[in-house]
Amino acid sequence: MRRADRLFQIIQVLRRARKPLTAEAIAEDLETSKRTIYRDIATLIGQRVPIRGEAGTGYVLEKGFDMPPLMLTPDEIEAAVLGAQWVAGRADPMLAKAADDLIAKIVETVPERLRPLALEPASRTPPKREDTADRIDMAQLRAHIHAARKVLLHYCDEQGRESERTVWPIAVGYLEAVRHLAGWCELRADFRSFRIDRIAHAVFLEERYPERRAVLRARWMKHMQDMRRHACDPL
């Protein structure tokens, strides 16, 4: 790997990390030596890249650091197009359109020699499925997830029984056949999953739920991990 490429990769590794990374961890990721990483980080700091930390404790890239547009690698193009294809075939119309626009932007911005990777990728997703129209505004639902605001759902279960649930929405999950809304259900005082196609109506409330979204999401992820672990336990 050229040194210029390695310097960029160090920034990328730090950018996606959620905690300080040691030189050893970065070296293992980039398949090089710790000494090389120490030298490269010193170079980046000398170029005013806002990296904090020191040898032995770990390094972090300060928030707000931005870089000029850089060329995508062939693998990055394939990954981006494959992900966009998947979203275009499974998400709500607004996200699907955004995914198609993303592919078009990739085609326009990459060099001509790399365009076949976006237009004719080696990897494909299944074709788009034909869905009935959602009875819930998915764009508004995503906005309420980001804003940590409650949603009042009129919901039908698999037996056709209707109920009214006030939900603290966490995330929209995409399974192969259906989409689900994960959230904390005030009626059941527990985490629940609601099939999007069984939501008859939704009222988007202005009230914020009393827990920080990041904390609620962390509790939900632990809940899901516990459920998977219990499902794998032998009887």
All structural domains of the chain with their residue ranges = 3-61, 74-119, 138-232
CATH class of 3-61: mainly alpha
Contact 88, 129 (CB under 8 A): no
How many Å apart are CA 182 and CA 169, to the nearest integer? 6
Contact 199, 190 (CB under 8 A): no
- Determine the pLDDT at residue 223: 93
pLDDT mean across residues, the chain: 87
Indicate whether 16 pLDDT > 90: no
Alpha helices (runs of H) in the chain, residue ranges in sequence order: 3-16, 23-30, 34-46, 74-90, 93-109, 115-119, 138-147, 213-232
Question: What pLDDT band is residue 200 in, cutting at 50, 70 and 90?
Answer: very high
How many Å apart are CA 156 and CA 133, to the nearest integer? 16
CA-only gyration radius of the chain, Å: 22
- Determine the pLDDT at residue 133: 74
Indicate whether 235 pLDDT > 70: no
Per DSSP, the three-state class of 173 is strand
CATH code for 138-232? Answer: 2.30.30
Q: What is the pLDDT of residues 135-191, one digit of tens each?
A: 899 999 999 999 999 999 999 988 888 999 999 999 999 886 788 999 999 999 999
Contact 163, 187 (CB under 8 A): yes
- Determine the pLDDT at residue 127: 65
Q: What is the pLDDT of residues 43-87, one digit of tens each?
A: 998 888 899 886 678 999 887 676 555 567 888 889 999 999 989
Dihedral sign of CA atoms 62, 13, 114, 104 in order: negative
Dihedral sign of CA atoms 228, 145, 178, 154 in order: positive
Question: What pLDDT band is residue 39 in, cutting at 50, 70 and 90?
Answer: very high
Indicate whether 129 pLDDT > 80: no
- Determine the pLDDT at residue 54: 65
Contact 106, 81 (CB under 8 A): yes
